[in-house]
Structure 1
Amino acid sequence: MPETSVIFGTNEKWRINRNILVLGFAFMVQFTAFHGTANLQSSVNSDAGAGAFTLAAIYFSLILSNILLPTVIIKWLGCKWAVAVSFIAYMPFIAAQLYPRLYTLVPAGMMVGFGGGPLWCAKCTYLSVVAEPYAKLSGISAEVLVVRFFGLFYMFYQMAQVWGNLISSAVLSSSLGEEPRLLNETTPISAALYTNVTSASLVDVGATCGVNFCSATASHENVNLEPPSPFKIQVIAGVYLACMAFAIFLVAVGVDSLTRYTKGRKTTCTGKTGIALLAVTLKQLRHRYQLLLLPVIAYIGAEQAFMAADFTQAFIGCSYGISNIGYVMICFGVFNALAAPIAGALVKLTGRFPVMVTALLLNLCLITSLLAWTPRAGQGAPLFALAAVWGTADAVWLVQVNALSGILFPGSEEAAYANFRLWESTGSVLAYASAPYLCVRTRLYILLGFLLIGFSGYSTIEFMEYRVKKAHNQERNFELVHKKPEQEPLQS
């Protein structure tokens, strides 16, 4: 059946750019709310490990969602409305913060995961499809445009970490809902609590914070870990719900339906769903390269979970205060956003392996520092430095291993990326679910083991690829030498 030709006006390139900008801005607003809330879960909702279990529920349901839902939802609603409806699925997670109990948080977290699969698939499909008509209008190849569109989108998305944490920390560090005090009513004890440095329980935080932190132990005698007032949580939740409502409005009103650009084109983000996709994903595990990649993929999920759950609670919240978690995580987000393109440029100059070795060394120094460092009350500079290093290393792992999953399996990208999502989420689920039961020191040793095993698997792949390329070059050189004498008689 011949493809139906579509004639666009002279302003169509501007319209496509507008769609991408509005979509990226909507994701930034949406995930401003989500990231800001997620980073506080383990510290604010620490009773019975509710926050950690909620984050585990998000990633567990995301595994199921990625396998079962994207094709069905997108075929039913289309990409534009799949994004809008998926945004709605995130809202109960914010609303549950108004009444944070295990039986309200975990189901709300499950809804986030179920919305996440169709959301990210619809976003990828939209950006890929609109690149095709833009390519016809501009003369630039669709492959180049897809990279450009994704880069523009992620420029907006990475900023969500900054705005979300800025909002939460601004509210938590404010005096909203607090009773005003007169200067002559301030007692020495209360003054010590306000200065956050002279109270004995705060000065000696090293005994219970950092690597010595254990969630399962009795309540810590540390005012830094006291949950903020319910009023402040209500204000934060209200702002975040307004952000999500605005993001839904932006997509509904400001983004064109993809049917405008899909005449005669199939627009699902993947050809398989449910059992078929699961079968292809598991079949991919027969490939030795895929098996060697699994530990480093699981490490990526585990280290991100450690950052979101353990680092925020045991290091930042415990020694520096819950109200400062957002400020430190802003530093993480900025370095994470900057490191991704810089690492990509370095790979072109040095190759992938030296960049990955750099990430390994950064993580080894980071984990060693966390194991050896004794936090002190109010000491923020080391936390910002640790967050910066963590953001840099995380960007390298995430971008390069993701790209490697596509490079190593040409023709099987669908199964490769499905495995990446599956095992990254599995690493996160295991890390979040075990957080309430294991002390931070033990979890760091486990993380170190995952790092070394994961890098060993990755290094094995690089070595095997090097041997294949070397053998291929020797064969080509041998063929050239073998053919040369045959040409000599023609020269005499």
Structure 2
Amino acid sequence: MTSEGSKFGNINSQPSCNRELQSMASALPGDEETPLVGDISGLEGRKSHHTRDVHILSLAFLLVFLAFGAAQNLQSTLNTEDDLGTTSLGILYLSFTFFSVVASLVVRVLGSKNALLIGTTGYVLYVAANLKPNWYTLVPASVYLGFCASIIWVGEGTYLTSAARSHSTDNNLHEIAVIGDFNGEFWAVYALHQFIGNLITFALLSDDQQEGSTKGTTLLFIVFLFIMTFGAILMCFLRKRSANSKGQQELSGADAGACASLKSLSKSLASALSDVKMLLIIPLIAYSGLQQAFVWAEFTKYVVTPAIGISGVGSSMAAYGAFDGICSLLAGRLTSGLTSITTIVSVGLFAQAVVLVLLLLNFSISSGFLGTVYILFLAGLLGIGDGVLMTQLNALIGILFKHDTEGAFAQLKIWQCATIAIVFFFAPLISFKAVLVIMLALLCFSFCIFLLLALKVGKAPSPSTSQRN
């Protein structure tokens, strides 16, 4: 009886079910309250705007930094009177270091997008100061750029990591892989600034053999200013983002008082420094700053210029940027966890170790074409190392420090810039070989400490990897 009743019940319910289905089907074409296609497109829009923002951010940084990077490479060779160029860079990175202490607070108050917009103004002013370089233009511009650089890089790290986490959540993707992909794309495009900027330098600058000077500098910096302005405008199209992965709203001056903000800042920096993981990353961060300063100042001055002249700085740094960009993209794509990061970092550090050993041994090729190819080869190896370090350090910090992204990226810039400032101030006081020995020693030490970090973190389960496959 029960089974028969249930059968009859099912039969009796079928007409009503069919009527409901028919009514729903008839309502679909003209139902404005339930636009199913519109909902799907809206969902796709929410999923895709994260990658759109990464494209815009990458291109904007490329346009801004292709000008600044080329101008920076030329400081030690163009502005040689009283070491104005090198000293201005030392002041820039010293200012960068000090302002990085409060950069996370400034980014929280301004928001990551506003920090990026304000940050670009310092780079424009610095390049403009090179139109009439002297102590009264370059030094103030360097101090202001130090502030702008601190907030633009903390803002970039925070913005990119937030976009990656949102994208992984919306698309149910592996968070670490997305962070690696986004960092790989950003640093690959960013690294092209060395390639494109220095090709422009190579095209516009020429050595005047009779007067012993360089022609075309004014035109070069005017072209750079136009390009940077377009990059700054492009950043206006970025979407605003929350400060962290939990969707917490970014702090504003009205929401948090000065005392509370400073207390939060000091707690953030103290917690980052008390974290064993951060302490183990710091040596590698310091080396990453050292190798960048070495390329910008020492390598261009003592290796490139004597071999192929000042105009050759553009071509060698273009090779550096090309390999930097390619390796950034590959390293980002291959990043899937701590094991892959460890392997990639090992390859990058080995490439730079080869360069340092060759320079220490005074190995060189004096013949014309082969000598130029050898310089480009060394620049390429240095670019490989830089591309690896930039992508992997940023990905590693984004993975390990999810609860205080701004503070962690502020630490990254503090230690990088402190090392860069030390190089610009003290490298002229010691020999080139002494710089090479220090670099090689720090490379070996930082790599050993990094391996210790990999072992320590590898023993503990990662919450990021267990969230989703």
Scaled by the length of structure 2, the TM-score of the pair is 0.74
Structure 1 residue identity aligned to 2:323 = F
In the alignment, structure 1 segments of 5+ residues that lack a partner are 1-6, 179-192, 195-222, 471-492
Matched with 1:53 is 87
Deviation at 1:42, TM superposition (A): 1.1
Instruction: Write the distance in 1 (CA, Å) between the matches of 2:112 and 2:426.
Output: 36
Q: Is the 8 A contact 2:60 2:231 kept in 1?
A: yes
Matches within 5 A, 1:455-466: 455-464=447-456
The counterpart of 2:293, out of the listed 283, 305, 329, is 305
Q: How does 1:345-384 map to 2 (within 5 A)?
A: 351-371=340-360, 372-374=362-364, 376=366, 378=368, 379-384=371-376
For 1:22 and 1:155, locate their aligned partners in 2 and report how far apart those are by CA, in whole Å. 14
Cα 1:343/1:83, change in 2 over 3 Å: closer
Structure 1 residues 331, 132: CA separation in 2 closer, same or farther (over 3 Å shift)? closer
Q: Quick one: which of 396, 399, 408 aligns to 2:391?
A: 399
Superposed displacement of residue 354, structure 1: 4.4
Letter of the 1:359 counterpart = G
Corresponding residue number in structure 2 for 1:238: 222
Residue pairs, 1:254-265, within 5 angstroms: 254-255=237-238
Distance 1:369 1:104 in 2: 39
1:267 counterpart residue number = 250
2:234 corresponds to which of 250, 253, 257: 250
Residue 413 to residue 265, structure 1, CA distance change in 2 (3 Å): closer
**Which of these residues, 98, 108, 124, is aligned with residue 64 of structure 1?**
98
Change (3 A) 1:133 1:428: closer
Q: Is the 8 A contact 2:158 2:406 kept in 1?
A: no
For residues 459 and 157 of structure 1, do their structure 2 counterparts lie closer, same or farther at Cα, with a shift above 3 Å needed? closer
Shift of 1:386: 0.3
1:33 matched to 2:67: yes
Once the 2 structures are TM-superposed, how far is the Cα of residue 413 of structure 1 from its aligned partner? 5.3
**C-alpha deviation, 1:317, in angstroms:** 1.6
Distance in 1 between residues matched to 2:52 and 2:383, nearest whole Å: 30
- CA deviation after TM superposition for structure 1 residue 347, in Å: 6.2
Instruction: Report deviation, 1:423.
Output: 1.3
Q: Which residue of 1 aligns with 2:307?
A: 319
Q: Which runs of 4+ in 1 moved over 6 A?
A: 131-136
Q: Pairwise CA RMSD of aligned residues?
A: 3.7
Kindly indicate whether the alpha-carbon contact (under 8 Å) linking 1:35 and 1:160 is maintained by their aligned counterparts in 2. yes
- 2: CA distance between counterparts of 1:337 and 1:79? 25
Q: Does 1:330 align with 2:318?
A: yes
Equivalents in 1 of 2:396, 2:171: separation in Å? Answer: 29
Give the match's secondary structure for 1:228. Answer: strand
CA pair 274-366 structure 1, distance change in 2 beyond 3 A: farther
Residue 47 of structure 1, CA deviation: 2.0
Displacement of 1:26 after TM fit? 2.1
- Indicate the SS of the match to 1:368: helix
Q: What amino acid sits opposite 2:94 in the alignment?
A: F
Q: Is the 8 A contact 2:150 2:413 kept in 1?
A: no
**CA positional deviation for 1:108:** 1.0
* AA of the residue aligned to 1:362: A
Matched residues, number: 407
Structure 1 residues 18, 365: closer, same or farther in 2, change over 3 A?
Answer: closer
| From 365, 385, 388, the counterpart of 2:380 | 388
Letter in 2 for 1:418: A
CA distance 1:43–1:405, change in 2 (3 Å): same
Give secondary structure in 2 for the equivalent of 1:317: helix
Which range moved further: 387-396 or 292-301? 292-301
| Structure 1 residues 268 and 64: CA distance shift in structure 2, 3 A | farther
How far apart are residue 302 of structure 1 and its match? 0.8
Counterpart Cα distance in 1 of 2:219 and 2:201: 9
**SS of 1:429's equivalent?**
helix
Instruction: Identify if the C-alpha distance between structure 1 residues 145 and 402 changes in structure 2 by more than 3 Å, giving closer, same or farther.
Output: closer
Please give the residue correspondences for 1:427-446 in structure 2 after superposition, counting only pairs within 5 Å: 427-446=419-438
In structure 2, give the amino acid aligned to 1:164.
G
CA gap 1:17/1:456 in 2 versus in 1, 3 angstroms: closer
Cα gap change, 1:277/1:393 in structure 2, threshold over 3 Å: closer, same or farther?
same
Amino acid at match of 2:214: P
- Residue deviations 1:40-82 (CA, integer Å, cap 9, x gap): 1111112222222222222222223333245436634x54443
The equivalent of 1:452 in structure 2 is 444
- Please list, as runs of the form range in 1=range in 2, the aligned pairs for 1:28-427 lying within 5 A after superposition: 28-72=62-106, 75-76=109-110, 78-127=111-160, 139-141=171-173, 143=175, 148-173=181-206, 226-229=212-215, 232-252=216-236, 254-255=237-238, 266-267=249-250, 274=262, 276-343=264-331, 351-371=340-360, 372-374=362-364, 376=366, 378=368, 379-405=371-397, 411=403, 415-427=407-419
1:161–1:330 CA contact under 8 A, matched in 2? yes
Counterpart of 2:305 in structure 1: which amino acid?
G
Cα distance, 1:267 vs structure 2: 2.9
More moved, 381-390 vs 365-374: 365-374
Q: Secondary structure at the match of 2:430?
A: coil
Alpha-carbon shift at residue 22 of structure 1 (Å): 3.4
* Gap regions ≥5 residues in structure 2: 1-38, 462-469
SS of 1:380's equivalent in the other structure is helix
Q: Over residues 247-294 of structure 1, what are the superposed CA-to-partner deviations in whole Å (9 max), with x where a residue is unaligned? A: 223334x445569xx9x950359x996564345324443444443433
Residue 308 of structure 1 aligns with an amino acid whose one-letter code is W
Shift in alpha-carbon separation, 1:150–1:49, aligned structure 2, 3 A: same
**How far has the Cα of 1:130 moved from its partner?**
5.8
Kept in 1: contact 2:103–2:410 (CA 8 A): no
Q: Cα distance 1:119–1:400, how it changes in 2: closer, same or farther (>3 A)?
A: closer
- For residues 359 and 17 of structure 1, the distance between their equivalents in structure 2, rounded to whole angstroms, comes to 27
Deviations 1:12-51 (A, max 9, x none): 4576655543343222211111111111111111222222
Decide whether the 8 Å contact of 1:301 with 1:424 is kept in 2. Answer: yes
Q: Deviations over 1:347-383 (max 9, x none)?
A: 6597454444433432332111112224648531111
Q: Distance in 1 between matches of 2:425 and 2:152?
A: 24
- Structure 1 residues 7-16 or 20-29, which shifts more? 7-16
| TM, length-normalised to structure 1 | 0.71
Is the deviation greater in 333-342 or in 304-313?
Answer: 333-342
Alignment-mate amino acid for residue 84 of structure 2: A
Amino acid in the other structure paired with 1:236: L
